Amino acid sequence: MGANVLAGMKVEAASEVGPEWVDEVLLAGPDKNVPLHLPAGPIALPALRQLVAERQEALVAAGLRRGGCAALRLPPSLTYVANLLAVWRIGAQAVLLDHRLTQYEVDQAAERLGVQLIVSVDRTMSGPLSVFADVTESILTREGEPARTPHAVLQLSSGSTGPSKVIGRTAADLVAEIDRYTRIDGVPLGGERIILLPSMVHVLGLVGGLLYGLHAGVQLVPPRRLTGDSILEAVAAAPTPATVLGVPFHIGLLASVADPPKLPQLKRMTTGGELVPAATATAFADKYGVPLGNMWGMTEVGVIATDLFGEHRPSLMPAPGLRVREENGELLVSRPESPYVGQSDPSRWAEGWLHTKDAGRVDEATGLVTVLGRLDSQVSVGGLKVDLTEVEHELTEVSGVVGAVVLYDKEITAYVQLDDSVSGASVEAALAERVAGYKRPRTLHVVEALPRTTTGKLVRDRNVLREAVP
């Protein structure tokens, strides 16, 4: 397995990568490998192969065939992993639906995408704070149709603004991203562990956690509960090096641990989602003695750029095999085909380039990329241009600010989450020393917790933010 398989599959056309990629790229490790170490116990590779084969048999019995389309409405769980790999092993298309969606949302997505089967939770045996659920599944058949596209997986975007888009990734595209991970300096290596916190329904947990881990022989270890103490217990449970993989929300969980133990196994924490402010990264490094690495990516393409050692903050280095360029202040990423299903919007993808809608710059000498925030963050106040991302960045640099969202709602408005050391008034005074008067928020709302999407991104919908104000 490994480099030869990846190199061979990477250059093939999407339609030529058949279902054998599951066995060749994901499940081909030695039998001694234990890819999953769950709260209920370890799952060795032979046991995982057997579970996938059993789920494959059940899905085929329910009518799923090569070229078919099945939706998974399951939480992160062994049940989810086995069904996902079984769908791909059949050669069918998997539609990943967050298990927290309402039945109405699920029905709408199934109708929109022509889903033939829906695999959902039948019974739950785990608690609400479990990172990895203990569930059994049920299969619902419906009058759908075969997959309309050659994609191996369809995902609904869960961005913080705008309606959901349908995003498709082919098997070849997933294999190429796995290959990118193998060539990024600082990723966990075979025999090491990933303390997995993000959902495997979304791209960071799916490819950066599950698929890369299976391929590289890295053990995935979800903590028993989603708390700071439980995350540290998972790190301490074995002597092998461990990387905590999460999103900025999870940094707060670890920051809440008053006196963390010395953990020589802890190698680093890596976060996806929005870039972490320098003050937060420094505080984390001081507390745990390891770097806080950043990753920038999108559902449409996966990992784009990284700084896993914290050497270039706030800049990142493009992942191997990807090109990033700047055009009129926007960052564009190389991608051979459009990832969007049912769309042909040239403002999103054209001529081999994906428009990220992120503002940024690329250093021509070093290739380093600096993400400056969303393009729609610029507003005019009294004829003067204000970049809300700049204001938000300066606000998060104020001591005591846990998180902030700055938007324009008839006037510049800020929503902030604070720790116990500061007040709204003291934060406003500190911000006055950092930014000009015309840039400062006219209203600053202190909220108990900033709303986040299912992937941990800060929500920027003004209606949702208003509801969070006490």
Place of tokens 């299969």: 139
* Judgement on whether residues 303 and 395 belong to the same structural domain of the protein: no
Specify the 3-state DSSP secondary structure of 131.
Answer: coil
Q: Which stretches does DSSP call E strand in 175-271?
A: 193-196, 219-220, 242-246, 266-271
**CA-based nearest residue to 7, from 169, 210, 187, 179:** 179
* Judgement on whether residues 418 and 305 belong to the same structural domain of the protein: no
Specify the 3-state DSSP secondary structure of 51.
Answer: helix
The residue out of 312, 344, 368 marking a domain boundary is: 312
* Judgement on whether residues 283 and 423 belong to the same structural domain of the protein: no
pTM, two decimals, is: 0.83
Q: For residue 42, what is the domain's CATH number?
A: 3.40.50.12780
* Judgement on whether residues 306 and 227 belong to the same structural domain of the protein: yes
Q: Beta strand 292-298 with 266-271: parallel, antiparallel or unpaired? A: parallel
Tokens describing residue 13: 């056309």
* Judgement on whether residues 174 and 32 belong to the same structural domain of the protein: yes
* Judgement on whether residues 287 and 399 belong to the same structural domain of the protein: no
- Answer whether residue 321 is part of any domain: no
Instruction: Give the C-alpha distances (Å, rounded to integers) separating 292 from 84, 229, 235, 289, 295.
Output: 31, 18, 15, 10, 10
The CA angle 81-100-77, to the nearest 5 degrees, is 20
The residue out of 282, 312, 342 marking a domain boundary is: 312
* Judgement on whether residues 119 and 266 belong to the same structural domain of the protein: yes
* Judgement on whether residues 28 and 108 belong to the same structural domain of the protein: yes
* Contact assessment for residue 361 and residue 326, using Cβ atoms and an 8 Å cutoff: yes
- Measured CA to CA, the distance from residue 219 to residue 122 in angstroms comes to 28
* Contact assessment for residue 45 and residue 28, using Cβ atoms and an 8 Å cutoff: no
- Measured CA to CA, the distance from residue 7 to residue 179 in angstroms comes to 8
**Residue 207 burial (10 A CB sphere; 0-12, 13-18, 19+):** buried
Torsion sign (Cα): 315, 278, 225, 39: positive
pLDDT above 90: percentage of residues in the chain: 69
Place of tokens 């033939």: 116
Specify the 3-state DSSP secondary structure of 208.
Answer: helix
Q: Is the pLDDT confidence value at 274 over 80?
A: no
**Residue 3 burial (10 A CB sphere; 0-12, 13-18, 19+):** exposed
- Answer whether residue 324 is part of any domain: no
- Measured CA to CA, the distance from residue 421 to residue 412 in angstroms comes to 25
Q: Is the pLDDT confidence value at 139 over 50?
A: yes
* Judgement on whether residues 306 and 444 belong to the same structural domain of the protein: no
- Answer whether residue 333 is part of any domain: no
Specify the 3-state DSSP secondary structure of 377.
Answer: helix
- Answer whether residue 456 is part of any domain: yes
CA-atom Rg of the chain in angstroms: 22
Cα-flanking dihedrals φ and ψ of residue 20, to 5°?
-65, -15
Helical ranges in 363-468 per DSSP H: 388-396, 424-432, 462-468
pLDDT-derived band at 33 (thresholds 50, 70, 90) equals very high
Q: What is the pLDDT of residues 61-80, one digit of tens each?
A: 999 999 999 999 999 999 99
DSSP 8-state class, residue 434? T
* Judgement on whether residues 27 and 169 belong to the same structural domain of the protein: yes
* Judgement on whether residues 70 and 172 belong to the same structural domain of the protein: yes
Q: Would you state the pLDDT for residue 164?
A: 66
pLDDT above 70: percentage of residues in the chain: 93
pLDDT-derived band at 347 (thresholds 50, 70, 90) equals confident
In this structure, which long-range contacts are made by residues 209-215, counting pairs with CB atoms below 8 Å and at least 24 apart in sequence?
209/245, 210/81, 211/26, 211/174, 211/177, 211/178, 212/178, 212/181, 212/182, 212/187, 213/35, 213/188, 214/26, 214/27, 214/29, 214/35, 215/1, 215/2, 215/6, 215/25, 215/26, 215/178, 215/182
Q: Is the pLDDT confidence value at 455 over 80?
A: no
- Measured CA to CA, the distance from residue 318 to residue 316 in angstroms comes to 7
Q: For residue 388, what is the domain's CATH number?
A: 3.30.300.30
* Judgement on whether residues 122 and 11 belong to the same structural domain of the protein: yes
Q: What is the pLDDT of residues 363-391, one digit of tens each?
A: 999 999 999 877 767 777 766 678 788 78
- Answer whether residue 52 is part of any domain: yes
Number of domains in the chain: 2
Q: What is the pLDDT of residues 216-240, one digit of tens each?
A: 999 999 999 999 999 999 999 999 9
Specify the 3-state DSSP secondary structure of 351.
Answer: coil
- Answer whether residue 318 is part of any domain: no
Q: Would you state the pLDDT for residue 6?
A: 57
Question: Which residue range forms the structural domain that includes residue 449?
Answer: 382-468
The residue out of 312, 331, 351 marking a domain boundary is: 312
- Answer whether residue 408 is part of any domain: yes
- Answer whether residue 367 is part of any domain: no
